[in-house]
Structure 1
Amino acid sequence: MPDFEVVHLGPADHPESGDGAPAFTRPLVTDEFWEERTLSEVADGGRTILVFTPMIGSFVGKYIWDELDERDWADRADRLVGVTASTPYGISRFLDENEFPFAIFSDPGNDVAASYGIAHELDGMEGLGEPRVAFFALEPDLTVDAAWVATEWPEFPDYDELEERLGLE
């Protein structure tokens, strides 16, 4: 038995296949630097897998990035980029300490997650939120090709099925 309570988040109002993905501009962070970038700049010229995770350093976020690294998603996708409610400093430190090859957008206000319909407040912490775990496959024109969004916290996808859904098989 886990020593935490599973929380049912209910349905999300997120973009589905065929919908346009909300555009945004945020700091895009690597282990070396960060700079303001738009999603359309990142997605230009290739299919993009957009991964939303809870705050960097949480066991859920760490587990997801470990799994994606182990499965070589950075090499298997045209572009793989994350979004989290953490600050650029925290993301940069996390990527450096774990030697992850990923770039992650910093969204401390959780505005991007809200625009995707996947923001949720943390239990007992009014006004403090983070994104649900979510994966979106985006075409270069930012059309959503496929999506998977958690309905519980914590919840993880079946990665084999997710890879097939997102076209990473």
Structure 2
Amino acid sequence: MVDFEVVSLPETDHVGVGEVAPDFTRPLVTDEYWEDVSLADLTEEGPVCLVFYPMDGAFPATYIWNEIRDRAWGDSLTVVGVSISTPYEHKTFIHERGMDYRLFSDPANGVGGEYGIPNPLDGMTGVEEPRPAVFLLDGDRTVTYAWVASEWPDFPDYDAVEDAIEALV
């Protein structure tokens, strides 16, 4: 039995396939440290899987990252996350999940807004997080695959993402 309500999210005009993904610079966090890094710096090294997810500690974040970790997407390309959590929260989340992935910290959800995927939180005026989303980017930041949640909670079709990763790399 589901102990939460599934909520439909409004339509969104998000970044789509064939478009150049907006560049941004935010703190990129590992389990040891963080530093400002741009998305362009990462895509210069090759394809990137950009994963937007709810704040650390929310159950969808745990499920999404456990699945990505277990499927070892990082073996094929760079995988990075984006959420509204602080660098301190990210360090704890990375350690607790046993993740080898880096996470961008975007507390004001500016990046989620640029990508067209804001999710205002009910009952919290002025507070939002990105809705769950996955964007695969080539070395020029061109989007080759895009999935954006249409309801909350919603999770990517992991097999479809893997097929898109295989086609990209």
TM-score by length of 1: 0.95
Q: Following the alignment from structure 2 to structure 1, what is the Cα–Cα distance between the partners of residues 166 and 125?
A: 38
Unaligned segments of structure 2, at least 5 residues: none
Task: Identify the residue that residue 57 of structure 2 maps to in structure 1.
Answer: 57
Shift of 1:126: 1.3
Alignment of structure 1 residues 6-21 onto 2, 5 Å? 6-21=6-21
Task: Identify the residue that residue 80 of structure 2 maps to in structure 1.
Answer: 81
Shift of 1:124: 1.4
Q: Following the alignment from structure 2 to structure 1, what is the Cα–Cα distance between the partners of residues 158 and 18?
A: 22
1:22 maps to a residue whose letter is: P
Task: Identify the residue that residue 42 of structure 1 maps to in structure 2.
Answer: 42
Q: Following the alignment from structure 2 to structure 1, what is the Cα–Cα distance between the partners of residues 105 and 22?
A: 16
Identity within the alignment, %: 50
Q: Following the alignment from structure 1 to structure 2, what is the Cα–Cα distance between the partners of residues 153 and 162?
A: 19
Task: Identify the residue that residue 66 of structure 2 maps to in structure 1.
Answer: 66
Matched, 1:29 2:29: yes
Q: Following the alignment from structure 1 to structure 2, what is the Cα–Cα distance between the partners of residues 45 and 95?
A: 22
CA contact (8 A) 2:49 2:137 kept: yes
Q: Following the alignment from structure 1 to structure 2, what is the Cα–Cα distance between the partners of residues 18 and 165?
A: 14
Alignment of structure 1 residues 131-142 onto 2, 5 Å? 131-142=130-141
CA RMSD of aligned residues (A): 1.3
Shift of 1:106: 0.3
Task: Identify the residue that residue 155 of structure 2 maps to in structure 1.
Answer: 156
Shift of 1:166: 3.6
Unaligned segments of structure 1, at least 5 residues: none
Q: Following the alignment from structure 2 to structure 1, what is the Cα–Cα distance between the partners of residues 4 and 71?
A: 27
TM-score by length of 2: 0.95
More divergent stretch after superposition (83-92 vs 119-128): 119-128
Q: After the TM superposition, which segments of 4 or more aligned residues of structure 1 sit over 2 Å from their partners?
A: 165-169
Alignment of structure 1 residues 105-144 onto 2, 5 Å? 105-144=104-143
Q: Following the alignment from structure 2 to structure 1, what is the Cα–Cα distance between the partners of residues 101 and 69?
A: 9
Q: Following the alignment from structure 2 to structure 1, what is the Cα–Cα distance between the partners of residues 138 and 68?
A: 20
Shift of 1:13: 1.1
Secondary structure of 2:162's aligned partner: helix
Secondary structure of 1:50's aligned partner: strand
Shift of 1:140: 1.0
